[in-house]
A and B are shown apart, each in its own frame.
Chain A
């Protein structure tokens, strides 16, 4: 019989003993097994669930850098142009590589054509991670719906570990923000968020609420507090 030493949703720090026993299932890379004991390796929230007589143990990190995963949508900043690729800053320890095949549909001749025409240094892009195998830098694509160069809106940068809170359970938080303000919000997995609003005042409110979520990510009842915050700000500013 497994023994669980932490409460669900409690804060754990490296070295905390989470569980002990045979019927424990680990669903996080941040849980280390030593014999039959399971230890936390990162500061975060413990997630303990009982299913079919087994205990599922995982940790939701509260801090940490963005480590790319294939399929993630990220917002990147073009940093450099090579002969047939762009180097993209994706707010991660690894720099993104966007090859010309992932941008253009037709053949490209570097001798006659310049990549600068399509994307320049300083451009923000919405991209998807195609591949990342830890031996090579993450490969990006901007082919697909909703991907490509960003031409309007503002970008807010937050800690990548707070992204799940900004999205909320099944998108509850981000949908609430969009409903309350009428803005368009696109959350990149790397902690960059694109905000498009009808006017500046609304945009400011959305940015402030995102910063509020970042600061209070570990607290309860956050969606309601943010909703209240948006309504209060809207009436105060008269928008």
Chain B
């Protein structure tokens, strides 16, 4: 979504703090600061697993069904489960109504999210079944694909599906020559680069990396490091959200 219309707003202003010049973003954040993040698990009673994730103004809900019998039967695989993903933006999620029909963008994002999840789900435990992941963007303010991945992996864990690790995602960008973490819609529209990253932090693996725009080699390395730090914070929030569902920790002896 690069290249916004109209006059470009001021996205970075420089302030003097403790004798150093510090970049301040349009919403008052520092370059390496995340938006306020909220997560909740088990929000839908009818799905096997569900989660709601908010990155600032971005809000995504994910639901997981399965493992269940694969329909149509011929799509099932004899040695593992298939994972099906649907990333979708609600018509009311954007400032201008989006048509509810799946766009090319949504088809692509469904695919890259599926591939990220396939790397962590232990699908060999559920042969001949299907695991369906539905992600609905309720409100869009940039970084929806990474919020969707974060929500999807939480919903999978909530459904009791075996995974090697949780997946957390965040986007980094370059705005007015400054590398910034977790870019929002306005920053994205006028950014020189936008790089969504998803990782499995315990395994230390990158599961999704896309780059829209131009970064130098040095900037790329720095941006990835920035993303890694942000992802670690989000990952810890994910674990906290999952544990919060079971407030009391211990269980009767030997049950």
Binding site for B on A (CB under 8 A): 9-11, 13-17, 29-30, 32, 34, 39, 41-43, 45, 61-65, 67, 93-95, 134-135, 161, 164-165, 168-169, 172-173, 217-223
Contacts and interface: CB of A to CB of B under 8 A. Distances in A.
Contacts of B157: 13-14, 42-43
Interface stretch (B97-105, B123-131, B178-186, B216-224): B123-131
B242 interface: yes
A94 B202 contact: no
A22 to B, nearest CB: 20
A43 to B, nearest CB: 5
Contacts, number: 118
Determine the main DSSP class of B at the interface with A: loop
Interface residues of B, number: 42
Contacts of A17: 202
Interface in B221-255: 235, 238-239, 242-243, 246, 248-255
A140 to B, nearest CB: 17
Determine the main DSSP class of A at the interface with B: loop
20 contacts: A10-B250, A13-B238, A13-B243, A15-B163, A16-B239, A29-B162, A43-B158, A62-B160, A63-B158, A64-B161, A65-B67, A93-B126, A94-B129, A161-B160, A164-B255, A169-B254, A169-B255, A219-B252, A220-B252, A222-B255
B158 A39 contact: no
B64 to A, nearest CB: 10
Contacts of B67: 65, 93
B243 A34 contact: no
A93 B69 contact: yes
Contacts of B48: 63, 65
Contacts of A39: 164-165, 202
A217 B60 CA distance: 29
A41 B249 contact: no
B132 to A, nearest CB: 12
Contacts of A34: 203
Contacts of B197: none
Contact of A93 (B129, B201, B255): B129
Given A14-B163, A63-B158, A169-B254, A43 B203 contact: no
A233 B242 CA distance: 33
A14 B164 contact: yes
B251 A41 contact: no
A13 B67 CA distance: 18
A16 B242 CA distance: 12
B150 to A, nearest CB: 13
Given A13-B157, A15-B201, A219-B248, A169 B125 contact: no
